[in-house]
Amino acid sequence: MTGYQGPQVPPESLRTIKRLAAERDAVILSHYYCRPEIHEVADFVGDSLGLSQEAAKRKCKVIIFCGVHFMAETASLLCPDKTVILANIDAGCPMADMVVPGDLAKRKEELPGVPVLTYVNSSASVKALSDICCTSANVVKVLRSLDAQTILMTPDKNLATYAQKLVPEKKVLTWPGFCPTHHRLNLKEILELKAAYPQAEVVAHPECQPKILAETNVIGSTSGLIKHCSESEKKEFIILTEEGVLHPLRKRNQDKVFYTPATAMICPNMKKNTLADVIKALETLTPVIKVPDESRGPALKAVERMMAVPRD
Ligand code: 13P
Ligand code: SF4
């Protein structure tokens, strides 16, 4: 039996990407939810927090970001001296669009003195109105790091509810945002999967609804879940997050089995990034992602405050 390899990158495309990346002094960063072939050409594949950290520390002139808009924007905030390019300009995040500056400013007026904790899945203009950011990898530590007793968390109500459970000493006010890819999982199919594979460990991303998370064994960021499954002595897992994680999971764990729900967990935006987009981005050095001047300072402050807090 041959082991899992996943889709292969055509050698000609690989050569072109490597040559152009060297000529441009470019580093290619990919989120785990991107297509497997994008993982294969990337210099680094990671979760939202890992990608921000990597963008900040890499010594290069250009970053080609394979992910969604807010991720490239965060890289641009952290790397003012680098040209940050989003491989596919149409790759947005519907959850990030569920909070806009006008609505957040209004809510802040209703809640004087309440700090705003914003998930990185948000625009820079929303981050600019926030006190601090978090990702799924550091949400608990960020929440605990705040002096305030009551905190408004935007935009993901599922992540906020998950964090509230782990930090009961604070009061977390939620915002009605959610990730359509994770939110659509239904409880019945999870219960059926668990019944079919009772020996499997259930691992999930905190963007899932609370009723789904209540049925799981392990909750974490994409890299947290991959690390857990890779280090665990268990051999079977039910994976409740976007299917992009399956490529590294299967590649690193040839002796393990990963089950997925019948509801396809695919983020259509992450999948917009293609090899052709990467080649075009390297050739043209467009589209460049820039943060509006009026948002840059305060948004960077909220992101840097987060970066100072260690990962969960
Ligand atoms: P993480 O990779 O940070 O867990 O984020 C998941 C996600 O939905 C990114 O959009
Ligand atoms: Fe946004 Fe969900 Fe896609 Fe992540 S998986 S980019 S939260 S829509």
C-alpha–C-alpha distance, residues 148 and 250, integer Å: 42
Q: With cut-offs at 50, 70 and 90, classify the pLDDT of residue 2.
A: low
In the numeric block, which tokens belong to residue 117?
């904790």
Ligand 1 within 6 A of 136 CB? yes
47 pocket-lining for ligand 1 (C-beta < 6 Å): yes
Which residues, 6+ apart, have CB-to-CB distance to 112 below 8 Å? none
From the CA of 220, give the closest atom in ligand 1: 4
Q: Is the separation of the CB atoms in 130 and 154 below 8 Å?
A: yes
Could you count the other beta carbons within 10 Å of the beta carbon of residue 308? Answer: 10
Ligand number nearest to the C-alpha of 48: 1
CA of 241 to the centre of ligand 2 (A): 10
> Where does the pLDDT of residue 310 fall: very low under 50, low under 70, confident under 90, or very high at 90 and above?
confident
Which ligand 2 atom is the nearest neighbour of the CA of 179? 2
Q: What is the pLDDT of residues 37-86, one digit of tens each?
A: 999 999 999 999 899 999 999 999 999 999 999 999 999 999 999 999 99
Could you read off the pLDDT of 159-175 as tens digits, one per residue?
A: 999 999 999 999 999 99
CA 312, CA 297: separation in Å to the nearest integer? 26
In this prediction the pTM is 0.97
Q: From the CA of 160, how far away is ligand 1's center (Å)?
A: 14
Q: Is residue 196's pLDDT more than 80? A: yes
Share of the chain above pLDDT 90, in %: 97
Nearest to 161 by CA among 138, 137, 133, 140: 140
**Per CATH, is 181-259 categorized as 3.40.50.10800?**
yes
Cα(262) to ligand 1 centroid in Å equals: 21
Per the structure block, which two tokens stand in for 233? 């002595």
Three-state SS annotation for the chain: CCCCCCCCCCHHHHHHHHHHHHHHCEEEEEECCCCHHHHHHCCEEECHHHHHHHHHHCCCCEEEEECCHHHHHHHHHHCCCCEEEECCCCCCCCCHHHCCHHHHHHHHHHCCCCCEEEECCCCHHHHCCCCEEECCCCHHHHHHHCCCCEEEEECEHHHHHHHHHHCCCCEEECCCECCHHHHCCCHHHHHHHHHHCCCCEEEECCCCCHHHHCCCCEECCHHHHHHHHHHCCCCEEEEECCHHHHHHHHHHCCCCEEECCCCCCCCCCHHHCCHHHHHHHHHHCCCECCCCHHHHHHHHHHHHHHHCCCCC
Does residue 269 register a pLDDT over 90? yes
Is 243 close to ligand 1, i.e. is its CB under 6 Å away?
Answer: no
**CB neighbourhood size of 296 (10 A):** 17
Q: Whose CA is nearest to atom 2 of ligand 2?
A: 179
How do residues 172-194 score in pLDDT, each as one tens digit? Answer: 999 999 999 999 999 999 999 99
For a ligand 1 pocket test, name from 73, 74, 136 the mutation site with the most ligand atoms within 8 angstroms of its C-beta: 136
pLDDT 10s digits, 224-258:
999 999 999 999 999 999 999 999 999 999 999 99
Residue 1 has pLDDT above 60, yes or no: no
291 vs 34: CA distance, rounded Å: 23
Q: Are 142 and 304 in contact (CB under 8 A)?
A: no
Q: Are 122 and 154 in contact (CB under 8 A)?
A: yes
Name the average pLDDT for the chain: 97
Which numeric CATH code is attached to 96-178+293-307?
A: 3.40.50.10800
Atom 7 (ligand 2): residue with closest C-alpha? 179
Right CATH number for 11-92+270-284 from 3.40.50.10800, 2.40.50.100, 3.30.420.40, 3.90.1200.10? 3.40.50.10800
C-alpha 207 to ligand 1 mean position (Å): 8
Nearest ligand 1 atom to the CA of 182 is 8
Q: What pLDDT is stored for residue 312 in this prediction? A: 67
Q: Angle at CA 152, nearest 5°, toward 151 and 156?
A: 125
One fold for both 96-178+293-307 and 181-259? yes
Domain ranges of the chain: 11-92+270-284, 96-178+293-307, 181-259
